[in-house]
């Protein structure tokens, strides 16, 4: 078997790893083994937090909807229950946008749900 010298490939791999951890602290930015571990953890957290972000936005929409409903003498839970009974299928993202930008339109939907 012929001898394979890995100097060029090894250096290229190391350079790419260290480029990814630019801005990290302590050994994580300079030592290859620590850097690889940091990249793995960062990737796992990024994946999990992309999922968390969806829940965060849903909570934000709920708060916005509830805020305008309280001004109009209703509550979030009663409103959503009434929407389901009347088979009005508008998602929370759109309701939140309407509550923020077009309160008149939102009030018409509220009146329809009651």
d(CA 102, CA 95): 10
Do 112 and 88 form a contact (C-beta atoms < 8 A)?
yes
Do 76 and 57 form a contact (C-beta atoms < 8 A)?
no
Q: Residue 17: its pLDDT value, please?
A: 95
The end-to-end CA distance of the chain, in Å, is: 81
Q: Residue 66: its pLDDT value, please?
A: 95
Q: Is the dihedral of CA 32, 33, 37, 40 positive or negative?
A: positive
Residue 5: which pLDDT band, with cuts at 50, 70 and 90? Answer: confident
d(CA 36, CA 112): 57
Q: Which domains does the chain have, with CATH numbers?
A: 25-113 (1.10.1900.20)
Q: What is the mean pLDDT of residues 84-101?
A: 93
Q: Is the pLDDT score of 4 beyond 90?
A: no
pLDDT digits (tens, 9 = 90+) for 20-76: 999 999 999 999 999 999 999 999 999 999 999 999 999 999 999 999 999 989 999
The vertex-56 CA angle with 51 and 62, nearest 5°, equals 135
Q: Residue 1: its pLDDT value, please?
A: 86
Q: What is the mean pLDDT of residues 99-113?
A: 92
Do 9 and 23 form a contact (C-beta atoms < 8 A)?
no
């Amino acid at each position: 078997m012929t001898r394979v010298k890995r100097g060029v490939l090894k250096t290229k791999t190391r350079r790419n790893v260290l480029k990814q951890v630019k801005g990290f602290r302590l050994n994580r930015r300079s030592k290859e083994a620590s850097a690889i571990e940091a990249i793995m953890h960062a990737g796992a957290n990024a994946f999990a937090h992309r999922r968390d972000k969806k829940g965060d936005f849903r909570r934000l929409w709920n708060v916005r909807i509830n805020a305008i409903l309280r001004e109009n003498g209703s509550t979030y839970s009663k409103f959503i229950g009434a929407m389901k009974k009347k088979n009005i299928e508008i998602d929370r993202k759109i309701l939140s946008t309407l509550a923020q930008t077009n309160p008149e339109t939102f009030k018409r939907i509220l009146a329809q749900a009651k």
